[in-house]
Chain A
Amino acid sequence: GAVVSQHPSWVICKSGTSVKIECRSLDFQATTMFWYRQFPKQSLMLMATSNEGSKATYEQGVEKDKFLINHASLTLSTLTVTSAHPEDSSFYICSASPPGLPGTQYFGPGTRLLVL
């Protein structure tokens, strides 16, 4: 199957700092990528849909100024958590759909963020 990578795999930061997470599709081009968040013992929650060359579409309740998404190329989307606080500590996961398979998403391994 298609491969999606994320970097870093885990990060610890101080409250008030910003953290950037990268999501790359390694063997296919993705015009659309997705960002999810998962709290312990809960299911994945879609945060936003990242569209190459245009603004991201955020789900209801997700602050677009806090979670900045950039999809500058067909293989790279980034999520920046600005002014992170302890309540932003979570497992962040991205996914991408190969061309011609809009419902089939390949997921990255996730990034675990801990804000102290």
Chain B
Amino acid sequence: DAKTTQPTSMDCAEGRAANLPCNHSTISGNEYVYWYRQIHSQGPQYIIHGLKNNETNEMASLIITEDRKSSTLILPHATLRDTAVYYCIVRARNKLVFGAGTILRVKS
């Protein structure tokens, strides 16, 4: 599975959009981009995934660049409850390999 690079931490004001970047320059054609988040002391939560096209669901939007070498997770209106570690994972097989992720702090 391709390696991903994410910023260590980010801050976001409550009510504003949170844009979390992820680089995956070695991604191959059959690998999907998955995003999960983990709120402190809880199990991770699935957010969204995509292959080539941009995706949107009730939680977030996923923007994947045309060359697929990077993506951005967008939380349109961040709340304090969105404070968590966000993991960008690229996978082709069944297993998920978690990196260090991005600590997102939403501040009032």
Contacts and interface: CB of A to CB of B under 8 A. Distances in A.
Interface of A: 1, 4, 6, 32, 34, 36, 43-46, 49, 91, 93, 95, 97, 102-110, 112
Interface residues of B, number: 20
Given A6-B43, A34-B95, A44-B98, 19 more contacts: A1-B46, A43-B98, A44-B38, A45-B98, A49-B94, A93-B43, A93-B44, A95-B43, A102-B94, A103-B32, A103-B96, A104-B46, A104-B49, A105-B96, A106-B46, A107-B44, A109-B43, A110-B42, A112-B41
Contacts of B91: 103
A97 B95 CA distance: 10
A30 to B, nearest CB: 12
Contacts, number: 54
Interface of B: 32, 34, 38, 41-46, 49, 87, 91, 94-101
